């Protein structure tokens, strides 16, 4: 549980840390779209080089990212297996009932695994180098034009900020509950699947109770301080684009253009 990186922030002064959160968010989304559009080995090779360059620019140890990818390996392998046995097209190597292994299925399975890894790496860079408050502030700023159609921009930014803030808190709380149950003799790694699911009840009940208590305490604290939404409130953290954002944008645009050129180049 403590290896999950989503919602965690690592302070630093690297090139990526000093970028505007709005630029990091937009460039990350552009990169993810480019990765989904890539469909050749050369395009994915360039995508990997871009991801490694971004990781190096973040100043965060590569082992940190590997520790964050490991909990998701099971999900990646499951998706790959589904694609291998249910993919269609190309030469058929094996067929039995609704299951089959084809050349296109194998190729798409490898592509999907690569996409998963690249997206996880770049998304991890975004969350590790940007605090939850900066992410929510960036989304609020980017969605501000929607306020003209009465979209609840401030409320959405607040909910996102609270959700991101409490992801690591709930993960730590889950770890404490697991350790407490283990100290009482609970064994979560043995028995049938149904037996293990029943044992999870001893984790979920106290976890939900703790989450509800935290939510109630937070709501009470906000009401006692007279919170009425973000309308008319000034900003403690003012977002400004800098030279780093221009350099990062140029780098990403050139990289995406190269991926598009190599898209159909096998």
Residue where the block lists tokens 């390996």? 73
Q: Label residues 29-38 b or e (16+ Cβ within 10 Å = b).
A: eebeebbeeb
User: At residue 79, does pLDDT exceed 70?
Assistant: yes
DSSP 145: G
pLDDT for 1 equals: 46
pLDDT for 227 equals: 74
Question: Higher model confidence: residue 18 or residue 89?
Answer: 18
**3-state secondary structure (DSSP) of residue 227:** coil
pLDDT for 245 equals: 92
User: At residue 191, does pLDDT exceed 90?
Assistant: no
Enumerate the domain spans of the chain.
21-166+238-261
Helix locations, 59-192, DSSP H: 62-69, 73-86, 103-129, 132-142, 153-183
Tens digit of pLDDT for each residue in 224-242? 887 776 666 666 677 888 8
Residues 25, 123: Cα–Cα separation, whole Å: 9
Q: Are 140 and 161 in contact (CB under 8 A)?
A: no
**What percentage of the chain carries pLDDT values higher than 70?**
92
Residue where the block lists tokens 């929607």? 146
Phi-psi bin for 51: left (phi > 0), alpha (psi -120 to 50), beta? alpha
User: At residue 266, does pLDDT exceed 60?
Assistant: no
pLDDT for 230 equals: 63
pLDDT for 3 equals: 53
Q: How high does pLDDT run on average in the chain?
A: 82
**What percentage of the chain carries pLDDT values higher than 90?**
15
User: At residue 2, does pLDDT exceed 60?
Assistant: no
CA 251 to chain centre: 22
pLDDT for 248 equals: 92
pLDDT for 27 equals: 93
Q: H/E element holding 191?
A: none
Local confidence band at 126 (pLDDT 50, 70, 90 cut-offs): confident
- Give the tokens for residue 146: 């929607």
Q: Are 30 and 256 in contact (CB under 8 A)?
A: yes
* DSSP tally for the chain: helices H, then strands E: 9, 2
- The mean pLDDT value for 244-254 works out to 93
Q: What is the dihedral of CA 40, 45, 46, 51, to 10 degrees?
A: 120
User: At residue 41, does pLDDT exceed 80?
Assistant: yes
- Nearby residues of 84 by Cβ (< 8 Å), 6 or more positions away: 101, 105, 106, 109
Tens digit of pLDDT for each residue in 85-113? 887 777 777 777 777 888 888 888 888 88
**3-state secondary structure (DSSP) of residue 94:** strand
Local confidence band at 169 (pLDDT 50, 70, 90 cut-offs): confident
- The mean pLDDT value for 170-179 works out to 83
pLDDT for 7 equals: 59
pLDDT for 24 equals: 92
Q: Are 94 and 107 in contact (CB under 8 A)?
A: no
Highest mean pLDDT among 5-14, 123-132, 247-256: 247-256
Q: Are 140 and 131 in contact (CB under 8 A)?
A: no
Question: Higher model confidence: residue 37 or residue 190?
Answer: 37
Question: Higher model confidence: residue 10 or residue 191?
Answer: 10
Length of the chain (residues): 266
Residues 107, 39: Cα–Cα separation, whole Å: 10
């Amino acid at each position: 549980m403590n290896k999950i990186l989503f919602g965690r922030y690592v302070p630093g002064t690297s090139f990526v840390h000093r970028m505007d959160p709005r630029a990091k968010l937009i460039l990350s989304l552009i990169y993810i779209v480019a990765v989904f559009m890539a469909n050749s080995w050369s395009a994915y090779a360039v995508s990997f080089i871009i991801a490694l360059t971004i990781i190096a620019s973040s100043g965060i140890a590569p082992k940190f990212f590997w520790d964050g990818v490991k909990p998701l390996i099971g999900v990646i392998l499951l998706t790959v297996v589904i694609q291998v046995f249910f993919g269609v097209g190309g030469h058929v190597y094996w067929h039995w009932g609704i299951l089959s292994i084809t050349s296109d299925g194998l190729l798409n399975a490898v592509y999907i695994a690569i996409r998963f890894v690249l997206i996880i790496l770049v998304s991890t860079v975004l969350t590790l180098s940007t605090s939850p408050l900066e992410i929510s502030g960036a989304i609020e700023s980017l969605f501000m034009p929607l306020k003209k159609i009465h979209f609840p921009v401030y409320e959405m930014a607040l909910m996102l900020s609270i959700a991101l803030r409490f992801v690591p808190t709930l993960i730590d709380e889950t770890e404490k509950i697991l350790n407490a149950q283990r100290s009482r003799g609970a064994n979560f790694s043995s028995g049938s699947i149904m037996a293990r699911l029943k044992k999870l009840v001893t984790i979920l009940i106290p976890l939900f109770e703790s989450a509800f208590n935290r939510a109630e305490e937070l709501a009470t604290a906000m009401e006692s301080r007279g919170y009425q939404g973000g309308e008319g409130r000034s900003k403690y953290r003012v977002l400004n684009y800098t030279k780093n954002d221009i350099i990062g944008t140029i780098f990403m645009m050139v990289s995406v253009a190269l991926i598009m050129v190599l898209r159909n180049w096998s």
